[in-house]
Amino acid sequence: MPRPPYLRSTAPVTIPLTRRTLLKAGGTLLLSVLSPLARGAQIMAVRVWPAADYTRVTLENDSNLKATHFVVPDPHRLVVDIEGLELNPMLKSLVAKIQSGDPYIKQVRVGQNRPNVVRLVFDLKEEITPQVFELEPVGAYKHRLIFDLYPVTPVDPIAAMIEKGEWLRDSAAPIGQPALPPDATAPQQAETPATALDKPERPALARAAEPKADARQPKVARLITIALDPGHGGEDPGAIGASGSREKDIVLAIAKRLKFKLEELPNVRVMLTRDGDYFVPLGVRVEKARKVQADLFVSIHADAFVVPTARGSSVFVLSEKGASSTAARWLANKENLADSIGGINLGSASKQLASVLFDLSTTAQINDSLKLGRAVLGEIGGIARLHKGAVEQAGFAVLKAPDIPSILIETAFISNPEEEARLKDNGYQDQIASAITKGIRRYFAQNPPMAKSRTT
């Protein structure tokens, strides 16, 4: 007859440590350690960013991946072997993400080349120069394996603008003063007719006369080139609003409106550092502006802060001696992380770009930037609340072109729900673009640029 439960012994049962028990326990431990390796890395997302500059393909995964690649001519192909992977639906979805309008990729084929190795074959539309590199986890991203497909001959900003009809072929080195209409809010000066360099589809408008001290100099109008820089893009979404709005989308929309308004002025042409949703490193943004010999560089952003109550527009210029406020320093540090988040191959960065990116600008450039910043801030203050009533300064990497007056505009706080709603509104975007245009026109009315002597 079995004992009742309350009479049963509660003493621990001793199991003899036989060789079989030890081997079984060791095997279980070994399997638990090796199981992640046995299942291989897990692909969490695949993304494709086509652009004229280059096409980027990103594989985001939960661990480092080892990849080897080679190119094959006739027809042009890029072959990539990735170790530690098994073919799965996420990888297969890469096939459908290739767009017909991609400048460089015709299609991609994905297959299990051999056990634990997946092969990607990119059928190309032309010969490319590939860069394949890994990025460590940063921000919201895990490990990323990046394939950047560049054209053999890099895209030239001037050639691209000529192709779009935005650059006159016979105006490579115009000299003299611009032919901008006088700003109604600026001190009125005598007017002289504009020259034949006015854009043909627009009527010739008067321009401000040179100061008397320069009256004997030849008055030859030249085109003004403005570089607009929509912040972030591609892998770098920028700040995210409470309703999910992405800074990179908002600022690109504002930049395109601003480009249209500026080009309505005579003798003005505009270059966008990016005209689509793709990532451009900070140094490349600066270099693009210098290649087109830009007279101004305007970077456009939509700020975010740790609390949703922060609000207002701001304008920043570079500082040689440290930030003008703690908030300005914090913002500059955050914006300077763009290369880490967007993904830059540090091993391929040219020495020239590095020198431009980290070289301190001249005092003259900063002084001109302050004049531009004040003119623009004054106009923005007429339509929006200002976060600070004065232009601020900090060490923004994107403002370090040594020979171009450069400003960074924080149009509003996208982290503030009320301001996020305004930023998404077409009418408000148009107002912001108009205010910046008026500020730029006022700056040139008071500070006409000198003849250009730089070379690209």
pLDDT of residue 42: 87
Average pLDDT, the chain: 81
Structural domains of the chain in order of their starting residue, each with its CATH number: 43-151 (2.60.40.3500), 157-342+349-446 (3.40.630.40)
Residues β-bridged to residue 46: 59
How many other CB atoms are found less than 10 A from the CB of residue 147?
Answer: 22
The per-residue pLDDT for range 310-327, each reduced to its tens digit, is 899 999 999 877 787 788
Using alpha carbons only, what angle is made at residue 55 by residues 296 and 113, rounded to the nearest 5 degrees?
160
Rounded Cα distance, 315 and 300, in Å: 10
The per-residue pLDDT for range 383-403, each reduced to its tens digit, is 999 998 999 998 899 998 888
pLDDT of residue 326: 81
- Quote the distance between the C-alpha of residue 304 and its chain's center: 16
Give the pairing of strands 224-230 and 268-272.
parallel
pLDDT of residue 19: 53
pLDDT of residue 16: 54
pLDDT of residue 332: 84
Residue type, 182: P
Beta strands in 232-327 (DSSP E): 268-272, 296-303, 314-318
Beta strands in 15-116 (DSSP E): 43-49, 55-61, 66-72, 77-83, 105-114
pTM > 0.85: no
Rounded Cα distance, 90 and 372, in Å: 49
Secondary structure element (H or E) that encloses residue 364, with its range: helix 363-380
pLDDT of residue 194: 33
Q: Are 385 and 273 in contact (CB under 8 A)?
A: no
Give the residue ranges of the chain where pLDDT is below 50: 5-15, 22-23, 27-38, 169-178, 186-220, 350-358, 360-361, 454-456
Q: Which of 454, 452, 438 is nearest to 383 (CA)?
A: 438
